[in-house]
Amino acid sequence: MESLAVSARSRDATPSPRRASTHLFDGALGASTEKSSPRASFELTPIESNGLANGDMASPPVTPVKTREQSHPAREDLGAESMPFDFSKIDYELARARCIGQGLWSKVWLADAKHPERRWPALPTPPSSPPKWTSSTTASSLFAVKTAARPDAAAVFKQETKVLTHLMRIDDASQYVVTFHGLDFRNSALVFEAVIGGSLEGLNNRLKQMTEVSRHLELVNLFPGLASDLVSGLEFLHEAGVVHADIKPANILLDISEHISLPKPVVRARYIDFSAAFRLDSDDSTENSGGSWDYMAPEQLRIQKELNNPTFASDVWSLGISLLSLLVGDSPYTAACSGNLFMLREAIKTGDPLSFARVSPTVQKRMSAAQDFVDCCRVALQKDRQKRPTASAWKAWLGNHDLLV
């Protein structure tokens, strides 16, 4: 797999003192293959870097043409709730872009930044000194560009843009959410910061290649900080009035960042893919909200509409299952259900994923060796959503407990 250079970002907030294990994140931008499970139609499916699932090479879309027009119908249609991508400062090139994910609604391309050419000012009239040339650039060298895979994806993109714009206007949003640069009105693509480190799902897959002892040591190093990042991030989303509605390992990206107080880079976790998300107290649709079965809360499989809609409480459950999957190495239902969808559905409805995880002798040993981590997950995995803690309460619990093993 080719190596992709991405500049490390510094964070304003002090990160957890955990170091990035280099061998775990080599080639992390390459896509991993997710085990099949019932998925909502908006989910991105990772693909192999050398082509699509059927073996065909993905043809990158045409690079949008830069226009000098200040007014454009598509730009005007965005409205105040939607942030446009400002290609006058820096643009991207799709001709050689690599497809790193695809789904029913969209494809995601890893695209090189295209810096503007030097702009020489008119010659000055003596005796003033000639001004220096200027160029608008950013530190990013790569973009993740999300393009529509079908015409009716426009409504999904429109709502995702509104949700991300709302979040990006809040201070420190990029601490918790992968930076959104805006909607490119030229091709209706969503433009994001490209993040090094891969996804939490990819990390889980890499941990599977390690011995049990090495795997345990890596978890001891990484789990406390990742849990802290993600619970704090969930608190941020909920305080902003946003329900993510599809939290799972594939929608959590890992960022390897340097920090002045630490000798080596540290691993941070942030949320991505808000195609299912919606804002409370708004006219946002919940039509595309749902999630992946393994990470859905028990009440979401109920028939009653007032129960199966995603909520802050179901987000908390989904994060609890995501962290548990990192601890046990897979979905907690895998050993007990063996891919049987009826059994999976019934297992989720019981609201007892910890018991199903222990069906595997290997997983049982992993859980016994990291009881504090299990307790962290158990806090969120209350079957009764009325008894389930808020993200803020979960964060307070973490503040009062040292995750030691």
The predicted model scores a pTM of 0.80
pLDDT of amino acid 287: 76
CA distance 388 to 374: 16
Compute CA 254 distance to the chain's CA centroid, rounded to the nearest angstrom. Answer: 8
**CA pair distance 6, 249, nearest whole angstrom:** 22
Is residue 131 reached through a cis peptide bond, with omega within 30 degrees of 0 on the bond before it?
no
Fold for domain 200-400?
A: Transferase(Phosphotransferase); domain 1 (1.10.510)
Q: Cα(first)–Cα(last) distance of the chain, in Å?
A: 35
Longest CA–CA span in the chain (Å) reads 83
Per-domain boundaries in the chain: 96-114+140-193, 200-400
251 close to 245: Cβ distance less than 8 angstroms: no
Run of H or E residues at 109 = strand 106-114
pLDDT of the residue at 3 = 33
Q: Which is nearest to 168 in space by CA: 226, 237, 250?
A: 237
For 96-114+140-193, CATH number out of 3.30.930.10, 3.30.70.360, 3.10.129.10, 3.30.200.20 equals 3.30.200.20
405 residues of the chain, pLDDT tens digit each: 333 334 334 444 444 445 555 455 554 554 444 444 444 433 444 443 333 444 444 567 777 765 544 445 455 555 688 999 998 888 999 888 999 888 778 899 999 998 765 555 555 555 554 444 333 334 458 899 999 988 888 889 999 999 999 999 999 999 999 999 999 999 999 999 998 789 999 999 999 999 999 999 999 999 999 999 999 999 999 999 999 999 999 999 998 876 556 667 778 999 999 999 999 988 888 877 777 899 999 999 988 777 788 999 999 999 999 999 999 999 999 999 988 999 999 999 999 999 999 999 999 999 999 999 999 999 999 999 999 999 999 999 999 988 765
Single-letter amino acid code for the residue at 143: F
